[in-house]
Amino acid sequence: MQLLYLYIQDHHTLSSQNLNFGGPLRFFYDQQQSTLTVSENPQHVEGFFQTSVPAPADALINNVSAIIGQNGTGKTSVLNFIKEELSGGISGLRTPILLATRHVDGQVILFRCSDISLTGGNYQNFGVELSTLSLEEQNGYASRGYQDEENQPFLTETSFISFSNVFDGRSNNIGSGLRDISTDYLLSSERYYETSMRIQHREEGSELETFRFNETERQIDFINFFKLKEIIPFKLPDKLTVSSKRQYTYRNYLNHSKEKGALEHNGLKPIAERIVNCLEEIKISEDGFRVWMIDFFYVQSLLNFLQEMDLHVRDPLANIRFELQQTDFSAYDLKSINSFLITQLEQLSNKQEDIRTLYEMAVALQDMHRYIEMHATGEEVQMLKEGRSFELEINNDQFEKFYSYYKKTFKHRPYLSFDWRSISSGEKAFLNIYARLFSLSDRQNRFNDRRLAQNVVILIDEGDLYLHPEWQRRFVFLLCEFLTKCYTSQNGETRSIQVIFTSNSPIPVSDLPNGNIIFLQKLNGKTLAKNSLEDKKQTFGANIHTLLSDGFFLSHGLMGEFAKQKINSIIEMLQGSREEVMKNRTMIEKNISLIGEPLIRTKLVQMFTEKLQMNMMDVDERLRKLESEIDQLKAQQNKG
């Protein structure tokens, strides 16, 4: 499914606007005449955005379109309207619209809200099927918004994804078909999820820390599992710092009300006590620091696993009948405790299938720590004495093994924190786009609670923000390359993807045909949608400098305002008195030499030279007068 066209009747600054996103047809609704005019899009090329010959499992990019405009013109408002009104949810569609969609079989369906009058037009000549959306009412007021003929929300077969790297504290209305991976939403939702699931205590950390932990984990998942490295235009860091999310000790673990109550109720407190005591018994020394660090992380992972057991089995774990009553754990080391849990869970899983997952997690925990013990002395692992953390080399197979073990040791409660030692804000911004999108792929389960539908519409708000111009230039190409491999087709059905993004820059525009771009301008406080640049210039393959020079992007020229004002002041000075120019001669010369535009610099040099020549002419004239006066005085003296 592909969004072809959207007419919004009355929604803040977007009232009565025709928005064409590209495709084989173009639409225009005349509100005064109540007619819909349809025409062929001469720029449409089927399969235009496939960057390479697709493999059988690849998804298909059916369209990429952009919404361009100055700040305040409503670019983000268009995306917000789509994700809030078209993605479903409790209230459904509440604003009257016309919406044209194209389906996999080529059928174009026009959804019309019942209170938008449509009495004429040529849409039937193009085989457009009309579907009316009626406003369902109860007790005289709208209760659920517009529904189709079968009283069902429309576009239910489509998943919408919303991405934005901007943080502005905006609240989000989430529809049932929307996956929101914007910074605003993740900051609030991830903290709420982790505290409600007791992954974190409310007094631990902050929203920002939770978000940072999860963001880095998403980036690592993407780098570790997605093998199309060509889409990353920079060298990834060599090392990653690993630390524990929680610094568990006897006092803050066993005495915490929730943990203490759960452990006592489930009969696991003797194991927890012994795990913590194991750490207390290890003394730190120069020779033993590495051993202490290994055991420290073993303790954190085992204590976290006890909480995973509580979260995994909603019925009291005491009913599973752990055989702890006769067991003396005083001589158990960490490995023995891990082995004991494996044995107990394996026996229980034979009776209760849902315990099998816990058994497999306990085995993975044992495998991970065997790996750490084996490789902690190697060059790929560097223990850091300044804190309870260590460094891992990530550009090798060893890290992939370590990380795959770690991912198997938890389901709800990630307990390690990862951080890059050296990565710029621009590089992080680039990784965020791909890592967050990848977190929704079918291969992920940590951040993805439900699979995407076969039709996916991706809304990207200023995705090129923070990116260097060279990365902006490659933005559309790399995004298309990535999405075809990321959201692979499922069950033999080809997944169809549409991308709609906003930008303040002309750079991504050069990758899109003119008909795939919506230009927004402000006129008398209202947003006006235009379908082309001035004079209908072509955008695809256009020179970026030429696009930038268009009055739509820069109505006051290509020069910075400070430079413009400085040059104007020099011109005014050169047009003034000769005395003023001579007084400021050195300053004028230096300012002219700084100007990079050769035509402007040459003209100012000419004006300055002419002013100097005029001044020299005045000096010569005065010399001639003085010489004449001297000759007259000499003549008078000779006569006397």
Which tens digits make up the pLDDT trace of 38-87? 999 988 889 898 887 777 788 899 999 999 887 777 888 899 889 888 88
Q: Please report the pLDDT score of residue 31 as a whole number.
A: 92
Give me 160's structure tokens.
Answer: 């919408």
Q: Please report the pLDDT score of residue 483 as a whole number.
A: 92
Residue 432 has pLDDT above 60, yes or no: yes
| 616 — pLDDT class (breaks 50, 70, 90) | low
Residue 406 has pLDDT above 70, yes or no: yes
> What is the CB neighbour count within 10 angstroms for residue 185?
18
Residue 386 has pLDDT above 60, yes or no: no
| 32 — pLDDT class (breaks 50, 70, 90) | very high
Per-domain residue ranges of the chain: 2-213+427-549, 245-422, 561-639
Residue 436 has pLDDT above 90, yes or no: yes
User: Of 271, 257, 253, which is closest to residue 322 (Cα–Cα)?
Assistant: 271
Side-chain-side CA neighbours of 620 within 13 Å: the count stands at 6
Residue 559 has pLDDT above 70, yes or no: no
Q: Please report the pLDDT score of residue 552 as a whole number.
A: 55
Are 507 and 544 within 8 A, CB to CB?
yes
Q: Please report the pLDDT score of residue 541 as a whole number.
A: 62
Helix (H) / strand (E) element for 158: namely strand 158-164
DSSP string, 98-135: EEEEE-TTS-EEEEEETTS---EESGGGGTPEEEEEEE
Q: Please report the pLDDT score of residue 108 as a whole number.
A: 94
- The residues, any chain, with a CB within 8 Å of residue 106's CB and separated by 6 or more, are none
Are 519 and 529 within 8 A, CB to CB?
yes
| 316 — pLDDT class (breaks 50, 70, 90) | very low
Task: Say which range, 23-32, 266-275, 384-393, has the weakest mean pLDDT.
Answer: 384-393
Give me 503's structure tokens.
Answer: 């930008």
Are 262 and 241 within 8 A, CB to CB?
no
User: Of 170, 164, 190, which is closest to residue 437 (Cα–Cα)?
Assistant: 164
Dihedral pair phi/psi, residue 478, rounded to 5°:
-65, -35
Q: How far apart, in whole angstroms, are the C-alpha atoms of residue 17 and residue 30? A: 10
Task: Say which range, 364-368, 478-482, 533-537, has the weakest mean pLDDT.
Answer: 533-537
Q: Percent of the chain at pLDDT above 70?
A: 76
Looking at every residue in the chain, the average pLDDT score rounds to 79
Q: Please report the pLDDT score of residue 21 as a whole number.
A: 94
pTM of the model: 0.79
Give me 450's structure tokens.
Answer: 């439900």
Q: Please report the pLDDT score of residue 176 as a whole number.
A: 63
Are 253 and 201 within 8 A, CB to CB?
no
Give me 324's structure tokens.
Answer: 């702890």
Q: Please report the pLDDT score of residue 458 as a whole number.
A: 96
Q: Please report the pLDDT score of residue 546 as a whole number.
A: 65
Q: Please report the pLDDT score of residue 317 as a whole number.
A: 45
Q: How far apart, in whole angstroms, are the C-alpha atoms of residue 535 and residue 74? A: 23
- The alpha carbon of 77 is separated from its chain's Cα centroid by a whole number of angstroms, namely 17
Task: Say which range, 86-90, 154-158, 241-245, has the weakest mean pLDDT.
Answer: 86-90
Q: What is the mean pLDDT of residues 458-465?
A: 89
Q: Please report the pLDDT score of residue 339 as a whole number.
A: 93
